[in-house]
Homo-oligomer: A and B are copies of this chain.
């Protein structure tokens, strides 16, 4: 099996509160780890804790940027990003890791990503035209990165 010689950081906001989501997240992370070095960083969620949303989003954004400082390439998950299909995403990941080595995906919390984060990301992807809760968006990204690993390795994976 081809293990990609690179590193993926997934920077997300907050810990998943639901045990079920956490279990699924950890399972995908473990499976993704067979294909590439990967690390999930959960920055502190401060939205809805007394600060105005805009300020909280900026704070979370700064933490996301700090958590991904070691990456040569930052990729934002946003509703306005490019929509790829799964083989295209696999090709994208392979290219990005091939060229940049250490790459990072940044997912916002309930109020999304700050302008500062978006300005400091070189790429922006969208998972769907639909809006999902950020917990689900996180699982979708993990599943797709795992799927990308199987596609790059030429393995079969169920639909």
Q: Is A133 in the interface zone, CB < 8 Å from B?
A: yes
Residues of B within 8 A of A24 (CB): 18, 20-21
Q: How many copies does the complex hold?
A: 2
Q: How many angstroms from the CA of A111 to the CA of B139 in the assembled complex?
A: 22
Could you tell me which residues of chain A, from 82 to 116, have a CB within 8 Å of some CB in chain B?
A: 83-86, 89, 110-112
Given A128-B130, A133-B158, A136-B139, 18 other A-B residues pairs in contact with their CB atoms under 8 A: A18-B24, A20-B20, A21-B24, A84-B129, A84-B130, A86-B131, A89-B130, A110-B159, A112-B159, A127-B128, A127-B130, A128-B140, A131-B147, A132-B140, A132-B143, A133-B143, A136-B143, A140-B140
Q: List 13 A-B contacts (CB under 8 A).
A: A20-B23, A83-B128, A84-B129, A84-B130, A85-B129, A127-B130, A130-B144, A131-B147, A132-B143, A132-B144, A133-B158, A134-B158, A136-B140
